[in-house]
Structures are given as C-alpha cells and as structure tokens.
Structure 1
Amino acid sequence: MNTELTQSPKKMNLNFVVTSIFIVLLIVIAGLNSFASVQYGHVGLYKTFGKLNDDILGPGIHLKLPFVQTVIQVNTQVTKAETDTSASSKDLQPVSTHVAVNYSVNKSAAFNLMNNIGGNFDTVIISPAIQEIVKEVTAKYPAEDLIAKRDVVAGEISDHLTKRLAKYDLIVNDINIVNFKFSDAFNQSIEAKQVAQQQALKAENDLKRIEIEAKQKIAQAQAEAESLKLKKQEITPDLVQFKQIEVQEKALEKWDGHLPSVTGGATPFIDLNSLSKK
C-alpha cells in the first residue's frame, strides 16, 4: 500500500514533465509558424484554408495565424518567356520564329492574377498569346519583309501582346525576335538574289567608271585643242619675222667666214674661184 503511494507521485511528476515539454514544443512550433517572410522583388498574399486574401504584402516579415494561414509569394521582377512559333508568311513561305518576351506582374493586381488564373499563368496565358499574335502578324508580311523589317514586325507584335496581356494585369517590358528560320529553298533563292544584285551593282559601277574615264579623256582632248587654238592665235607676222631674225642670228654665230660653193634658189650661185682652187 505504501509502495503504491510512493510510486504515484513519481508518475505524476513524469507526466507533468512530458506534458510541459510537449506544451513548450507546441508553443515554439506555433511561434515559428506565426511569421512569414516575403522576398525582395516579390509581393505576398495571405491564404487561409485555401482562400486568398486581397491584402498585398510587401517584402519583409509578416505575422500570420499558425497552422491556419500561409503566405504565397508572387514574383514581380522582370521575367523572360521564350516561345517557338511556326507560321506562314503572306507569300505562303513557312517560317519558324523564336521570340523572347520580357514581362512583369502588376504589383497592385497580383491578387486578381493569382485568384483568377493561378501561379502557372506563364503557360496558361503568356505562351499561347505569343504564339497566336506572332502567327497573326507574320501572315501580314512577305517573307523577305520579315527579314528587312524585323523592327517593324517586332513593334507590331509588342503592341498586340501588350494589349492582350493587360487584361490579365501583366506588363510587357520588351520583346525580341531572336530568329526567323525559313525553308532551305527560300534561303537558296535569297542567296541567289543577293549574288545577282551584287553582280548588277558591280556592272553598274564599272559602267560609271568607264563613263567617267571617257569624260576625262574628252575633257583632256578639249583642253589640248583649246590650248593649241590659243597658241595659233598668238602667232602674228611680227612674231614670225622675229623668229626668222633669231634663226639668222644663230646661223651667223655658227658661220666660219667661207661662202658655200653652191647655193640654192631660183638661180644657183657657183663660186668659180673656189672651184678652180680645188
């Protein structure tokens, strides 16, 4: 009887200790579950028993009901979505387009986005919208214009996509057409056309060069003829007489004092004395 009485307080103490430890652990766990943090570049939403609350939580630590509430985070930073689209151009050329879209979530409308669409909005909304709009815009342009007017095409796709995603509180920050891929036959035709254009340009340049050289020769000949004409205009009777005097003076300078045996003219002159001496 006494033994049972002595053991009973021991059991009570042990039960008290176990219960106390359990309560402390429960309090600690509850305390740890009473806080939630929202990362930088995100906003948070309370979720209570599966129902979203429209209160928007900024980055930082927030209180919540333990075991009842959770805080889901929505990324509001600029995110990139890449999509490959197959379509046909206006001239029915098959074209594959690789598009990269930078988008972000409107912070103030994060509740509407998550409540109406959910966290997989990139695959549910963005990717299908990109593919549909790229096909629609691509069909407006011939294949060659898709290459030559890439910026115009990208701008039109951006305008349509911005309007489409604005309905879901998504913001289009930028769009890039990474690549257009055409059939091998079309690529070969483009290459052949470029070669023909280069050859035609070379022939045109050669023709211009020949024309310029011909004009230069004509101009040179005209200048020479004009120069000769001016020289002829400068010759006067006085100038001719002056030149004759110069020639005679040079001849006298070279004369050795002996007359020639025979001189020409209408009546030839013969120096008989000179001949007899010889």
Structure 2
Amino acid sequence: MDVRKILVPVGVALAAGALMSIAGTIQTGNVGIRTTLGVISTDEIGPGVYFKWPFISTVHEFSGKDIVIDLSDLTPKAKDNLSLRDMDVSIYYRANASSIAELSARYASQSARHDDGYLMPAYELVWRIARNACYEEIAKLDSLVIHTQREQLGQAIEKKLQEELDKNDPGVFVVSRAVIRSVQTDPSIEQSIQQAVANQKKLEAMQVQTEIAKKEADIKVTEARGIAESNQIIAGSLTREYLQHEANMALLKFAEKGNSNTIVVPSGMTVTPLINTGK
C-alpha cells in the first residue's frame, strides 16, 4: 500500500477544513458583522471573502437588500367599528448597510434567520410596528369603502411605518412599499357593499333619465316659444286695413260667380232685406 496516496488526500481535506474554519464569504448586497469575544464590531464586512479566528471570533451575514414581511389573517377594525374578516399585507423594507452593525447590537434579539441562512436585521421589530401601522390606517376608513381604496391604503401604511421607524432610528430603515394582497370583509358588510353598488347604479340611471326628460322639456319649450313668436309676428301683420282689403277681395271673387241667390252681409253692417213678392 502506498502511504503517500492516502496521506495526500487527507492532507488536502485537512487544509480545506482549516481554511473553511478561518475564512468565509459574504454575498453581494449583504454585509458581515464580526463578534470577537462577545464584542460586536462597529465595522461592517463587505461582500467577498473574510477571515476569522476559530473560537475567538464569529461572523454573521446580514441582508442589506429588500426584505419582505408577510402579514396574514389580520382582522383590524374599521372606522365604523366593523372588523374585517381577513386582510393580508406584504411589507418591503431594508436596513442601510452602513447601519447594520449598530442595529444588530441595539436589537440583538430582534433579527430573524432567513431560509437561505443569512439574518434579517431587526425583523421582529419591524414586523410588530408594521402590524400596528396596518391596524391604525384601517381604523381611518369605513369598511364599505376599503375594497375600493387598496392602493391608497397601501401607501398610507407605507408612510405610517416609515414615520414610526424614523422616530427611534432615523435614516436607518427604508420602507420600499406596502402591498394589500387581500381584503375580505364580513358577509354582512359584503351584502351592504353590494346593495350600495346597486343603489349607486340605480341613482346613475335615474340621473340619466332626469337629464333626458330635461332635454325633452327644453326642446318642447323651444318649439312652443317658436310657435308663439311666429303667431305674434302674424298677428302683428294683420292690421284692420289689411283685413278689410282681404274681405273685399273675397266678396269680389264671390260676386264674379254670378250667384244671385246668396246675400253676403259684411259683419257690423245693418241692412234691410228686400223681398220680391212678384206683384
């Protein structure tokens, strides 16, 4: 047996193990925080390879990228004192990379570990404040209109959360956005919403009918005004002399027919009839 063939792989493995025990890597977008003999360093370790001393110092990797907090099954109470059946919100935040070392020291027990192994700075703290922000902003809206103002509600939650985080840690956190994934109201509220929508549609239809009736009335008024003005013009042109002239012309045409059995007596004239007795 060649002992060298056995010793070489063993030596390589031991060297690799020793190297792994004193070195590590930080992913792009994240930072490393070194703790030496229980003391947290205030200098963040940037992305790339880092070295450590076994049993003396450790390095924890923290995310410097956007972190999502999913708040599910919330039942906040609206302004009209009615509770939502279910509300799901996603909050996106990040911590400034240059502040993560101080942040991890201040909120040492508030960080949470991601499934990929790195830590999410102050996750538990932001989670609680975000939940409270959701409840506070919902309390400003009536339950009947929440489903129509999801985008505005998300913006209000984002603003509220940012304000609350800045109170104790100004310039440390950045809230990217808040997304309302789902809003489910109580069944009785749903029925009220449907009735409100139906009433709104009915009101819109009535308004359209009113406008149509008003337009039709305006048309009739316009037509009546036109007829009245036309009659007024005609009446103004019918003078006494004109009417007498027309009567004279009518009598002339009547006389030209040679009808001697008919007597035409103009209105307002007193005439003694002459009767031929044949004697």
When the two structures are superposed, what TM-score results if normalisation uses the length of structure 2? 0.69
Identity within the alignment, %: 19
Q: Which residue of 1 aligns with 2:101?
A: 111
Q: Which runs of 5+ in 2 are unaligned?
A: 113-120, 265-272, 275-279
Q: 1:82 corresponds to which residue?
A: 70
Tell me the CA shift for residue 245 of structure 1: 9.5
Query: Using the alignment, how far apart are the partners of 1:62 and 1:68 within structure 2?
Result: 15
Q: 2:181 aligned with 1:178, yes or no? A: yes
Per the alignment, residue 39 of structure 1 pairs with 27
CA contact 1:30–1:66 (8 Å) conserved in 2: no
CA–CA distance in structure 1, aligned partners of residues 252 and 22 of structure 2: 131
Greater Cα shift, 201-210 or 21-30: 21-30
What residue identity is the alignment partner of 1:224?
I
Deviating more after overlay: 61-70 vs 196-205: 61-70
Q: State the number of aligned residues.
A: 251
Among 244, 254, 263, the residue aligned to 1:265: 263
Structure 2 letter corresponding to 1:129: I
Counterpart amino acid of 1:111? Answer: A
Q: Does 1:228 align with 2:231?
A: yes
Question: Quick one: distance in 1 between partners of 2:100 and 2:198?
Answer: 54
TM norm structure 1: 0.70
Unpaired segments ≥5 residues, structure 1? 1-13, 269-278
RMSD between superposed Cα atoms in Å: 3.9
8 Å CA contact retained: 1:33, 1:67 = no
Distance 1:233 1:265 in 2: 32
Q: Which has the higher helix share?
A: 1
Out of 173, 193, 208, the residue aligned to residue 196 of structure 2 is: 193
> What residue is the counterpart of 1:71 in the other structure?
59
- Deviation for aligned residue 1:80: 1.8
User: What letter matches 1:93 in structure 2?
Assistant: L
Closer, same or farther: CA 190–32 of 1 in aligned 2, 3 Å: closer
Q: Secondary structure at the match of 2:42?
A: strand
Name the counterpart of 1:59: 47
1:93 matches 2:77: no
Shift of 1:214: 2.0
Instruction: Please say which structure displays the higher CA radius of gyration.
Output: 1
1:93–1:143 contact (8 Å) kept in structure 2? yes
Equivalent residue number for residue 128 of structure 2 = 128
